[in-house]
Structure formats: C-alpha cells, structure tokens
Structure 1
C-alpha cells in the first residue's frame, strides 16, 4: 500500500505540470488561465495528495496487483509466465473498464476514461513490484518510500514547469491570444455552439438582430428538482452593436444594446482562433460559471 500510494500521489503533480504546459495556449474563457489553477494546486495539493494516492491505490492498483499475482500463481512457476508485474499491468485494463462503466452510467463516455484510468495505475504497479523485490532482497521493509517519491515528483514537476516558463519567455511556447477581428470580420451570422436556435446577426452598419439569444436573468445557474438546468431567459428583437472591451483582460468584445434583454447592454467576448472565431459570455456564479458560445456561420 505504501509503495502504490506513494507512486500514485507522486505522478499527479507531474501530470498537472504537463497539463499546465499544454494549456498555456488554450483559451481560459475568463476563468483566470492555467496560472490560477497551478496556484490553487500548489496551495492545496500537498494536503490532498496523500489521501488521493491512498484512495487511488485501494481502488485500482491493489486490486490489479492482487489479480495479477493470482493469475501468475495459477500459471505455475515458469519464468515466461510467472511475471506478476506484467499480469498486474494487464489486469489494469479490466479494473479501469469497471470504473469507467460506473462513470458511463452517469452519462460520460466509456473508452477514453477506461484507458486513462488504466494508464494511471501503470507507474504504481511498477513501483509496487520494484519495492517488493527490494524488500525480498534486503530482508526488511523499505524506508523513506514517501520521501523519495515526493522528491522525485517535485524534481520532475519543477523541471517541466521551468521548461514551460523558459519556453514562454523565449517565444518557443506561445501564450493564447484572442483573434483581433475587424468590423467586417465580426459582421455576419453567429449561431449557438450548443443551441443552434440562438442566432445573432451583426450588420456592418451597426445594426443587430437577436433570435433566442440568452441573457442573464432571474434564473441564473439554478437547477430544477430533477437536476436539469433551468432554461435561461432568451432575447428576441433588434438593436445595435459596437466593438468594445471585455470586463477582464482587456480582450475585444461585441457590445450589444437591445430592448427587452434584461434592461442593460450585453458584452460578448471574442475568443477562439482566427480560423474559427467565437463570441462567448459568462453567466451565473463566478465560482461555477456557465459559458455560452456563438460561432460564426461558415467558419
């Protein structure tokens, strides 16, 4: 348990550092960017990692290791088949599939989570097998398992984050920048990404037509008794639009003024990429905001 939990906990900061690096050029949609997530992880991670490592090992690594040892024992002592660590790795697949099936019952996909869950047990299984062989060779339990795993995790995480910061400073890794769209590029038909019934038509002369465009109203981000999100108020009508700045980050935005849309102007922030621009707005509680996106018709 110590070996599996230590490896499980140690791999999470490294995975987080890699995720931070890969998210540098992603649009955060006003959520504070990857740096905010990294700061939260550094603050609360040391307290949660041991607990998460223990839970992960009890739920995945140890069952797979036990099943692998059982299969190896049934097959006999021949070196070609009595590879406990190899069978334990194989048994990660059914263990991952079992947990992915539980998630799929809640509405998620199956194949992707099954593979990711199984992959998360590879390093703990290998570390468990290594520590078991070392204990058999030394004739005593291994000490400092948690300390060594923590130092290795810290070293790898600092290396990855340091490389990401150096890459950003030197321009090798580009930070996300929203597209700078002209009035001509903003003009056109914008349709809801999830709800194609929401349509915003921006005219070059400054006129705007709104069809079922959501706006902040009395329901906010509330949920009904069945757990489904209540329908947000919709705005239909005509109005005007101008190019302005979003309330965060100085990003470009489309500012709409239309009657009957909550009694105030709406600010749709420019996001996406040059080839696939987006307009988005944040609704609800700042700690768990809903994002509504519009994409330009025709790309």
Structure 2
C-alpha cells in the first residue's frame, strides 16, 4: 500500500545500497518493496500512514520498534541511541556552563575576538613580507626556445601536435578555436591536417609565452597555446570558451 509524503525521509536500506537521506517530498514506497527502513533519530513530524495490516503506528516509529527493523547505517538501536547521546553530552554541558557566566567585555569572548583579529593580521602581514622577501617562491612558467618547443605533444582524446623544425606543424584530433560562425555553438573544434607554427611571445598579456598554430584548410582558426608546467616537464594549454567555465585542454611533450 503506497505511503504518504513526509518532509523528511531516508532511502531504503538493502545489502547493495546503504542508507541515504533524501530531500523534502520523498514518498515512502510500499512496505513489501524493501526489507528494512532508515529513519532519522528524532523525526520532526509523524506520518499517519499505517505500517502494515491492522497497525496504527506511524511509519517513522518502525525503526524504533525493535525486531528486524534497524536505524540508519544498519546499527542496532541499543548501539545507536547511546552513541548519539554521547555525542550531544559535551556540547550540552558546555552550553549550560557558558550560560552561567556573566557577560563582560574583557571576558572570554572579548579576548577571543581580539586574538582572532591579531592572528589574522599576523598571518596576512607575515605572508606578504615572506612573498616580498622571496621566502615564498612564485610560480614562473618555463621559457622555452624554438628548439625546445620542437617535438611531439600529446593530450587527451588522442590529441596530437607535431611541431617540426622550420615552422611546419601536423595535427591529429587537435582542438582549435572555432570559426566566427561556430563560436556560439561550441567551445572548440577538432581538426586534423598540417599547417604552420611559430613562437608567440605573451600574446594574451598574461606573462606567458606560447605557440601560435595555423592549420591549413577551413578547420578552426589560429590557436594560441600557452606554455606552462616546468623546465623538466613543459606543457601547452588553451582555455576554450568562457574564461569562467570553459574547456581546458593540455598537451604534454612526449619526445624531443
């Protein structure tokens, strides 16, 4: 018999699916559709739907009725109640203690507030001084020569870019900037073929050198790949589409 909607609920427990609390408006399934139930420890409301034939108890009371019904996580009632009670003892005692204390500006709360402000200022000032003094090194992208850029670069989804000496390039499943009429529908296009490449010094004014790839034919526009990574493991990357939520594609060099 279908149950009624309640403002709290937990999903059905089974051997293959653990308990999982659901959002408001979940409808209880029929009692015959699952072996046991989950329930919060203190449900805020009750449901008038009967548990079974001839039963008048609300559904949320079924996990608390003993027998084969257990609360969440499969723990028995005799272990769940003491555990939840123990977790609430210390906070309750602390609140009761604090309520007996008279409020004074230079009491525990005032000293705590001033200590937090002082620690914040110390941390911020120390971080700025350490950065200016060079104690905290800042990241600098590697500076690669034309010879160091030459080689084979691979990315996800089979992307490949071969930068040949002399400025020739070969692309396989390489993402590229879409044409003007396509940029509203897609962040990038996937191209294959040959073209040219050349070093591109800080084209986006971000302090990074890069590589400008021009592919022959009608697939894609000129694409600037920025240099990142390290001297030992350089990378090329492009953020296609929206700068706040675009598609980041990275190429790693696999041969010189």
Q: TM-score, normalised by structure 1?
A: 0.48
How far is 1:151 from its partner?
5.4
Tell me how far apart the structure 2 counterparts of residues 150 and 184 of structure 1 sit (CA, whole Å).
58
Structure 1 residue 73 displacement after superposition: 8.3
How many angstroms apart in 2 are the aligned matches of 1:169 and 1:74? 52
Residue aligning to 2:154: 191
Spell out the pairing of 1:188-267 with structure 2 (5 A cutoff): 188-192=151-155, 194-195=156-157, 197-217=158-178, 220=183, 232-245=188-201, 246-260=203-217, 262=219, 264-267=221-224
Question: How has the CA–CA distance of structure 1 residues 163 and 74 changed in structure 2, closer, same or farther, with 3 Å as cutoff?
Answer: closer
Higher helix share: 1
2:246 paired residue among 289, 296, 299:
289
Structure index of larger Rg:
2
User: C-alpha offsets along residues 137-156 of structure 1, whole Å, 9 cap, x if unaligned?
Assistant: 4278x999998776555443
1:1-299 correspondence to structure 2 within 5 Å? 71=82, 84-85=89-90, 132=95, 134-138=97-101, 152-192=115-155, 194-195=156-157, 197-217=158-178, 220=183, 232-245=188-201, 246-260=203-217, 262=219, 264-297=221-254
Instruction: Assess if the C-alpha contact under 8 Å between 1:241 and 1:257 holds in 2.
Output: yes
Report the RMSD for the aligned CA atoms in angstroms.
Answer: 3.7
Q: How many residue pairs end up in the alignment?
A: 173
Question: Matched residue of 2:135: which SS?
Answer: coil
Question: How far apart are residue 72 of structure 1 and its match?
Answer: 6.5
Q: Is the 8 A contact 2:161 2:169 kept in 1?
A: yes
Alignment partner of 2:244: what SS? Answer: coil
Report how far residue 131 of structure 1 moved. 5.3
Cα pair distance change 1:298/1:188, threshold 3 Å: closer
Q: In structure 2, do the counterparts of structure 1 residues 132 and 235 end up closer, same or farther at CA, with 3 Å as the change threshold?
A: same
1:232: how far off?
4.0
